[in-house]
Each structure stands twice: as structure tokens, then as C-alpha cells.
Amino acid sequence: MTLIKECSSSTNKPSHIKTMEEKEITDWTSTVIDLSDIGLFLLDKSNVIQCWNQWMVSSSGISRDNAIGKTFSEVFPNVKSARLLNAIDDALCQGMPSVLSQKLNPHKLPLYKTISSKSEHNLMSQMIMIKPIISKSTLCLIQVVDVSAAVARDHMLRFQAAEYHAKELHNRAVLSSIADAVITTDTHGRIEYMNSIAESITGWTIERAINTYLEEVFSVLSKNGKPQIHSVGLCIKNGIIPSTFGDNLILNKEDGTTIAVEESLAAIYNAKNEITGVVLVFRDVTRARKLADEVNWQAEHDSLTKLFNREVFDKKLNYLVDSTKNVNIHHALLYLDLDQFKIVNDTCGHVAGDELLIQVSKILALHIRNNDVLARLGGDEFGIQLFDCPIDVCMRIANKIRQAIKDYRFVWGDKSFSIGVSIGVVEITNDNVNVKNLLSAADAACYAAKDSGRDQVHLYQIDKSEAATRHGEMQWFSQIQKALDNNDFILYAQTIVPLDTSDNQTHLEVLIRMRGDQGQLIPPGAFIPAAERFGLMSAIDRWVIENIFKMIHASKEYIIQNKFNFAINLSGQTLSDNETLDFITKQLDKYEITRGSISFEITETAAISNLSSANSFIKLLKAAGCKFALDDFGSGLSSFAYLKNLPVDFLKIDGAFVKNMVNDPIDYAMVNSINQIGHVMNLKTIAEFVEDDDILQKLKEIGVDYAQGYAICKPYPLTDKNGNMLH
Amino acid sequence: MIELSELQKDALGELLNIGMGRASASLSEMVGEEVELSVPRVETLSRKEAITRINSLVGHEITAIKESFSGAFWGDALLLFPENHSLELVRALINDDTLPIEMLSEMEQEALTEVGNIILNACLGSLANIFNENLEFALPQYSHGSCDDIFKNNTSSVTSPTSPEGVLLLQMNFSLEKTKVNGYLTLLMDVASMQALSKQLNKYFGSSL
């Protein structure tokens, strides 16, 4: 204030009148004012310049003498700015100060930094402050600040900002063109940027995501559904890159759906090596993971039935066995084998067989508990592991399964099949801890179930049946072998009589007995199953064929005279064995067997199980003059359909129907209908098991062509010790 | 603290709107664009209330232009803008939005100071004119920070920090062609000054208040 007062007073009085003291102060103040680095000048109420400092002199080029005492408009005739003039007015009339910025009022006063800039009309950037000074009369102090440096800084700032912006745009362009999703956050984990891939993967737009916490936008769960705590904090705190969370992350999208992602996280450092944020890179691996899952699934499952495969079954069995060690807990292993699968496969084709397996799998799955294991072990074999299951419960489950399969009808086109399952059961206790033994025991029990007539559940018992059976079978094996080597078989025969008298042939069914060690006769029912099991049936069939042909050759005249026809049984094994076929045709030639003197009997089941090979087998031998009978017809299947495919001559009605046909009207009807069907198809019918005259009478009524049984003739030895036919 | 009556507040609002009219005229002329200013509301609050209030209205980070005044009544006049609004306002006024950074450059601070100066001068000047009183003003000052800081650091030389203070809070709408900005004009006055203002209002409007 002192300065201003002095200044103002100095303007009122001529300088020579001042006192010494005043003069000194005036000198000081004018020195200070002149030394000032800003422009200072003073206007009085009439706009007359009262003070004009050195800075103003050098910047405007107007000397103090040319300025002081003149009005503002005289000094600056070209300054017409209303804003400046009004501001001066406001200060003088209303005592109000003003600031005039360079931005809003560029270059108000004609001031120049240097003489050269003046010649170039390069005006000084200036900020003007106008301040009223209220003392005796109101004055107006005008301060002018050179803001060129600030303007330069402003330009620099703008230039750098634009550069930065351009760089940022460049980076963004790079980030948005890469295939991975990128999100960056600040040190608090708040999102600063995300690229368009990140937007589309998360479902968030960048506008919404900015400043939200990363967890909200990138909310991930582990594969088992647990929320995954993000280590952004850790990353920021320690600067370490956390080990990636593996490839099993599930991302919750904005819309509530989920996708599989793979991610990695890294800290962002500035030039001072301080962490300024975190960058998260991730990608949608749904497809890749789905593929991997599929591959894994396929490695563990049977592609047809979608059940576990053998490898997984074995692995789980190992685990199950391990779990029983030292614990008193009982599990069970079931081995299942379908009984009639082959028939379906052969009569209707693989597509039907596959469908049957699928449907059976579903039935099986219905009968086990959640933590049990069901697998397809191969072909028509299945395995089940029953977890923590006492043996009585286990047998109940096995029987329910057996019943369910028995009750089930497989329908294919116009055909309907009933099937069965043989189930072997083994208890898993801490005594029998060898997985291999377990599997073979279950397998053996399943065979035992098949042996005892199929559609059975057989519990494996280590001490009794199995060991004994195994032992017994091994004995049979060597005994049959020995009998084949030593000709210890005897041919038997049973007469088949024509009920229709027009047939003058003598029909005999050729039967077989085995001679035991002590010379006793062993019936076929005792050794045939073992022979079937050990693959010896073809050998037995050959033995029979060779010996009967030899016999026929030896008694040729007698046989031709009596018009004998020998019906020889062929096993299923033989039917599917090309070598035996060769063998038979060669033997036919060798022994000069008369056409029409040989029939072959094949069982319905054997024929259908090997339908295609049976078919060619039959055709070839028929061409060689042999006839064919379908044995046990009606026992296996209720369908006649496949009969059309088999070019047989005789239909042998299953003895089980014949036996009871007198008392059981259903059996009677069965025999009747089989007979009728046979006749419609131009086949001769034969009834077995004709045990009394009543049956014979009924058969005559129905019109069956041939009969065989105890009521007609019991089986008798066909040859003597040397193989010659007994007359 | 002293309260102004509703009528007094309305009257004050009217008077200030006259000033706003002047300010908008000069701003419009300066920037060559229609600038509208209005004071839709006048409130009296304690300093503490004012801080809370401004915090909730303006946000934590604010930009302020202050002018101290003395005379028939005295105090500090502050023009407050939310930080982002001040940026928007300046860039709209100087017709330059090339600067992407989220702070005012020093040149822009000067410009905003000038805008504040024009508005504050117009408002206070119109009061002085109408009351036919002389008011003395200091040069405007720019500051930026939290609401607390602004109010603490701006305890005026003319009002003692210990004396109970009233705050006149005037909401102000600032609209340009494309920009709509809200600002707040506050007058910090102590009790005596507030009473003086009240007296002036009564004197001017007569017993009608």
C-alpha cells in the first residue's frame, strides 16, 4: 500500500517539490518499480497514466515521457478491447479487480519481448491483472505478466499429450488386434483398459468395466466350481507372477453363461521399476478343452454303450481292491455275459446287435447304485463293481439284473427276441486281494452260470464248486483226448419211425457213448459240455463221421438193401469250422457214401449262432446228397423267421414239448404249430421223446411225419467192437 | 448462526441473477457463443454443513476461484466446480479439447480464474451497486483440492477463523451450446457480516421483507 500511495502521491506533485525524505523513498520505490520483472502502470480516474515502469518502456517501446500524463487510449490508440476497457472502468468506478488471461484475451496490449520480435510483429503472450487502489481517489494498477514461458509449456504439454494419445491409440490398436483378451488394472485391481476380445469374452463393455474391480468382470471358478481367489493383490504386492491357475478355469460371463479360459497375470512396471498395475491375458479355450475332454472321455469309455471301458474298469477295480486292505468292507464284482447276443447279431446284423448292447446297457445302469461301476468289458460281456455291498444284497442285485434282462424283449423290425444273461459273482474281501485272480474267478463263475443252463447267477466259491469244477473239467479234457486217441467211443443208434407209411427208409439217429476207465459207459450229457468248453467237439464229430462212414462202407450192401438213413449230430463248433467241412466231403468220397443215406442234425441254437456259415455248410453238403434236420426246434427262440434262411429238410420238434403234449394243451399246440409250419415250408417233421403210445397217438392225429423215443425204440449199440454194424 | 428469511433469500437470488445476467453477457461476448448463467437456489448453511453439502453436491475434488471482499459486508466469495466440470467448461470456452489429460494446464487455470472473476465481480458488483455501497475486492485466486482443504486454506483475512461463520450457498447453472456445467457460488461470511447483509437487504427492499 505504501508503494502505491507513494506512487500515487508522486503523480500528484511535481517531483522537485518533494522533501528529502520523500525524495529518497520515491527514488527507492521507483527503483523497485523499475527493477520489477512485470509490467506496471497506473491510471488515474481520468485514465491518465501516472506511472510507467522500465519493463513497460522496454516491452512497448514507449518511453516514460511519452506515456506519463497521457491517457491510456492516447498511448495505446489501437487497443479497442471492450473487455480490457471495461475492466479498467470496473476498477476505477466500482473498485473491482480483474484478471485477463492470455487464453481468453490473447495479446491485448501491443507488447514485445525483444526488438526483433517487434519487427516480426511477434506479440508477447500476456496476462493482465487490473487492481483498483482506493485511497484519496481511486486509482487503477495494471500489472502485465509475460506468460510466454507458460504458453510454451502449454504447447509442449499439448504436443506431448497428443503424442501420448497417439501412442496410446497405437498400443490399443495393437492390443485389440491380437487374438488374446487383455485387461489391465491399476494397483487396486480396478480395470483401466480391456481390448475388444476381452469385451466379447467377458460380455462387459469397456465403458462399463472401467474402474470396476477385476474380480467382478473376470469372475472365475475352478473346474470343480470353487470360486478362484485372484492373486492380483499378490501380484501387485510382491511383483511376482503367480503360477498360472492351470488350464481348468471357468469364467462366469456377464450373461450368466460360462466358458473355459486359460489365463496369465503379470505386473506392469514404470520407468522407476515401481508396479503401476497388472496385465491379465486370457483366452477362450472352450473348444480346446472340450476336445481334450472328449479325448479323455473316449479313452475311458466304450463309444457304443457310453459305459466305462475295460481299462477303466480294471483301474477302478484295483482301487477298490486297495480300499479293502486293512478294512473290513465288502465289495463285489459281477461278470455278465449275454446269452443270446450272437443270435441277434447273426440274424439281424451288427446294427441290431449294437442296438441290443445299448439297450442292455441302459437296463444294467438302472439296477446299480450311484457309486457302483458299470463297464462293457468286450463283445457282449459286462462288468459291475458293487461298492460296499454285503453278499446277500449283491446276489439280490445280480438276480434283479438277470430277471430284468430275462423280462426284456428286444424288438428289431418284425422280430422279437428274448435274451438272457449269465452272471458270475465274486466277493471282494481283504482275503482275495489279487485283481487278476478276481477277474478270472468272476469269469469262471460266469461260465459256471452258463454251464448250469444260462440265465443264471453263479456265486464264485473258492473252496467248493469252482476248484472242483475246474479239476473235474481238466479230468474230462484228458479223458476225452484219451478216448479219441484210443477209440474209446461207441456208436449207438435210435430208430426214427415214419408215421407216414409211404416212406420206406430206415431212419436211425447216430448217438455216442464214451467208455470209461473201468469199462463203464459214460452218457454224452456228462462229457459233451466239457468237450464244448475245451474245443473238442469238432474232434468228436469227426470221430463219429469217420467211424460211421467206415461202417457204412463195410456193410454197404446191407445198408443199401434196407435203405438206411443215418442222422449224425453236428456241434456248433463244427458248423463254423471249414476244415471239418472239407473233412466231411473228403470222407463222403473216400467211403463212397450213397446219396440220401446221411442226414445231419444241427441244433437250432447252433445253426442260428453261426447262421451264415451254417447256411453255406448246409448248402454244400446238400449238394453232396446229404439231408439236414434242425434239432431241438422250438427250444431256443420263439421266432420262426430265420427258418426261412436255413435250407433244411427235417424239423425235429423239441422233446420238451412232445413229452408233455398229452397233458399240456400249450405243449400240444406248440407241437401242432411247429408241425404245421414245417409242412407249410415243405419240411418233414420229427418228434423226439415219444415215451408212450398216447403221445404217438396224438402225433398221428396231428400228422407229424416221424417219431423217435422210448415208446418206439431205445438207443442201442450200433456197432460191434470192431466197428462193424450189428444186424 | 444467523439465518436469512426465505424472502431475503429470494430477494438475494434476484439481485444475484442481475449480476449473472451481466456476467453471461460479457462471457458470451468474449467467447462468441451464447453463455447462460442462472442462480436457481440460495441456501444459508453453517460452514460444517456447507462442507458436507458441497462434498455431496460437487464431489471430493473441486476447483475453486476465490475473491475476498470487504466493505458494507465482508467475507470470501468462492466459485466452486466439480473438477471434471471445470475442465469441460474451460475447454468449451476456449474451444479447445485437444488436451486429453485430466487436469488444467496453467494457461487454462488462468482462463478459469478470469471466468470466475467475471462472474464474482458481476454478482458482488451488482449487490454493491444496488445497495449503493462500496465493496473492496482482492484479486481472484485459483485453487484446487478437496473441499476441506479449500475451505480451510481460504479462511479469509477479513473473517476471523474463530468466529462462527455462515455460508450462503448459491447453486449456479452454466450452460453453453454443447456443455452444461453446474457450479456453486458460496459466500463465506461471519455473523456480523451476515447481519450487515441482512440489514442491507431490508434497507433496499424496505419493510416488505
Q: Three-state secondary structure along B108-133?
A: HHHHHHHHHHHHHHHHHHHHHHHHCC
Q: Does residue A198 share a domain with residue A116?
A: no
Residue of A nearest to B124 (CA): A96
Distance from CA of B39 to the nearest CA of A (A): 21
Residue of B nearest to A165 (CA): B100
The whole-angstrom separation of Cα B201 and Cα B193 is: 12
Nearest residue to A384 (alpha-carbon basis) of A423, A358, A419, A354:
A423
Cβ-based contacts of A149 with chain B (< 8 Å): none
The whole-angstrom separation of Cα A474 and Cα A711 is: 37
User: Taking chain A, what is the end-to-end CA distance rounded to the nearest angstrom?
Assistant: 163
pLDDT beyond 70 at A110: yes
Cβ-based contacts of B108 with chain A (< 8 Å): 103, 154
Q: Does residue A456 share a domain with residue A496?
A: no
The whole-angstrom separation of Cα A707 and Cα A703 is: 11
Q: Is B208 exposed, middle or buried (0-12, 13-18, 19+ CB in 10 A)?
A: exposed
Distance from CA of A159 to the nearest CA of B (A): 9
Note whether B36 and B24 are within 8 A (CB). yes
Across chain A, what does the average pLDDT equal?
A: 84
pLDDT digits (tens, 9 = 90+) for A304-354: 999 999 999 999 998 888 877 777 788 899 999 988 788 888 788 889 999
Q: At A679, phi and psi to the nearest 5?
A: -65, -40
Q: Does residue A593 share a domain with residue A508?
A: yes
What pLDDT, on the 0 to 100 scale, is given for residue A704? 93
Q: Is residue A481 part of a domain?
A: no
Q: Is residue A4 part of a domain?
A: no
Q: Does residue A466 share a domain with residue A536?
A: no
Cell of A198: 476381452
- Annotate A333-379 with three-state secondary structure: EEEEEECCHHHHHHHHCHHHHHHHHHHHHHHHHHCCCCCCEEEEEEC
What pLDDT, on the 0 to 100 scale, is given for residue A625? 92
Selected residue of B28, B30, B107, B130 to mutate for chain A interface (largest A Cβ count, 10 A): B107
Domain that holds residue A611: 487-717
What pLDDT, on the 0 to 100 scale, is given for residue A672? 92
pLDDT beyond 70 at A486: yes
**Among B99, B121, B138, whose Cβ lies nearest the Cβ of A161?**
B99
Contact A157 B99 (CB under 8 A): yes
The whole-angstrom separation of Cα B88 and Cα A586 is: 111
What pLDDT, on the 0 to 100 scale, is given for residue A723? 81
Q: Is residue A724 part of a domain?
A: no
Cβ-based contacts of A102 with chain B (< 8 Å): 107, 110-111
User: Of A146, A171, A192, at which residue does a domain stop?
Assistant: A146
- Annotate A169-198 with three-state secondary structure: HHHHHHHHHCCCEEEEECCCCEEEEECHHH
Q: Where are the beta strands (DSSP E) in A379-454?
A: 381-386, 409-412, 415-418, 421-428
CA distances, A105 to each of A78, A131, A607, B31, B115 (Å): 15, 17, 113, 10, 11
Look up residue A494 and give its amino acid.
Answer: Q
Cell of A165: 494419445
Selected residue of B105, B108, B133 to mutate for chain A interface (largest A Cβ count, 10 A): B105
CA distances, A92 to each of A9, A204, B136 (Å): 17, 60, 11
User: Of A146, A166, A199, at which residue does a domain stop?
Assistant: A146
Residues 6+ apart with CB under 8 A from A431: none
CA distances, A364 to each of A304, A403, A435, A522 (Å): 15, 11, 23, 41
Q: What CATH number has the domain bearing residue A60?
A: 3.30.450.20
List b or e across A607-638, with b for residues whose CB sees 16 or more CB atoms inside 10 angstroms: bbbbbebbeebbeebeeeebbbbbbbbbebbe
CA distances, B70 to each of A90, A247, B135, B137 (Å): 16, 72, 6, 7
Q: Is residue A634 part of a domain?
A: yes
Q: Does residue A318 share a domain with residue A280?
A: no
Residues 6+ apart with CB under 8 A from A274: none
Q: What CATH number has the domain bearing residue A429?
A: 3.30.70.270
- For residue A9, name the pLDDT band (cuts at 50, 70, 90): very low
The mean-pLDDT minimum among A363-372, A445-454, A551-560, B4-13 falls in A445-454
Q: Is residue A262 part of a domain?
A: yes
Contact A164 B100 (CB under 8 A): yes
Q: Where are the beta strands (DSSP E) in A387-543?
A: 409-412, 415-418, 421-428, 457-459, 489-498, 506-515, 521-522
Cell of B126: 451488482
Higher-scoring residue by pLDDT: B45, A247:
B45
Q: Does residue A706 share a domain with residue A613?
A: yes
User: Of A122, A146, A170, at which residue does a domain stop?
Assistant: A146
Contact A99 B136 (CB under 8 A): no
Look up residue B115 and give its amino acid.
Answer: V
Cβ-based contacts of A97 with chain B (< 8 Å): 67, 117, 121, 137-140
pLDDT digits (tens, 9 = 90+) for A573-613: 788 777 888 899 999 999 999 888 999 999 887 887 777 77
Q: Does residue A618 share a domain with residue A562?
A: yes
Note whether B109 and B84 are within 8 A (CB). no
CA distances, A369 to each of A333, A363, A426 (Å): 14, 13, 18
CA distances, A72 to each of A91, A125, A471 (Å): 14, 20, 136
- For residue A465, name the pLDDT band (cuts at 50, 70, 90): low
Average the pLDDT over B113-117 and give the result. 91
Q: Is residue A1 part of a domain?
A: no
Residues belonging to chain A with any Cβ–Cβ distance to chain B shorter than 8 Å:
82-83, 86, 90, 94-105, 127, 129, 131-132, 134, 147, 150-151, 153-154, 157-158, 161-162, 164-165
Contact A99 B135 (CB under 8 A): no
| pTM for this model (two decimals) | 0.48
Q: Does residue A175 share a domain with residue A65?
A: no
The whole-angstrom separation of Cα A296 and Cα A195 is: 33
What pLDDT, on the 0 to 100 scale, is given for residue B99? 65
**Among B94, B108, B140, whose Cβ lies nearest the Cβ of A99?**
B140
Note whether A410 and A639 are within 8 A (CB). no
Residues 6+ apart with CB under 8 A from A197: A176, A178, A179, A180, A181, A182, A283
Q: Does residue A498 share a domain with residue A426?
A: no
Contact B93 A96 (CB under 8 A): no
Q: Does residue A66 share a domain with residue A36?
A: yes
The mean-pLDDT minimum among A24-33, A442-451, A544-553, A641-650 falls in A24-33
**Among A100, A132, A151, whose Cβ lies nearest the Cβ of B114?**
A100
pLDDT digits (tens, 9 = 90+) for A504-532: 888 999 999 999 888 888 888 888 877 88
Note whether B44 and B10 are within 8 A (CB). no
Q: Does residue A156 share a domain with residue A262?
A: yes
Residues belonging to chain B with any Cβ–Cβ distance to chain A shorter than 8 Å:
26, 29-31, 67, 90, 93-94, 98-101, 105-108, 110-111, 113-115, 117-118, 121, 124-125, 128-129, 134-140
Q: How many domains does chain A have?
A: 4
Q: Does residue A580 share a domain with residue A697?
A: yes
Q: Is residue A204 part of a domain?
A: yes
Q: Is residue A448 part of a domain?
A: yes
Chains A, B: CB contacts under 8 A, how many?
A: 93
Look up residue A275 and give its amino acid.
Answer: I
**Among B93, B111, B136, whose Cβ lies nearest the Cβ of A134?**
B136
Q: What CATH number has the domain bearing residue A644?
A: 3.20.20.450
The whole-angstrom separation of Cα A259 and Cα A243 is: 21
Look up residue A318 and give its amino acid.
Answer: N
Q: Coil, strand or helix: which one is A271?
A: coil
* Sheet order of strands, A275-284 included: A191-194, A181-185, A275-284, A258-269, A249-252, A219-222
Q: Coil, strand or helix: which one is A289?
A: helix
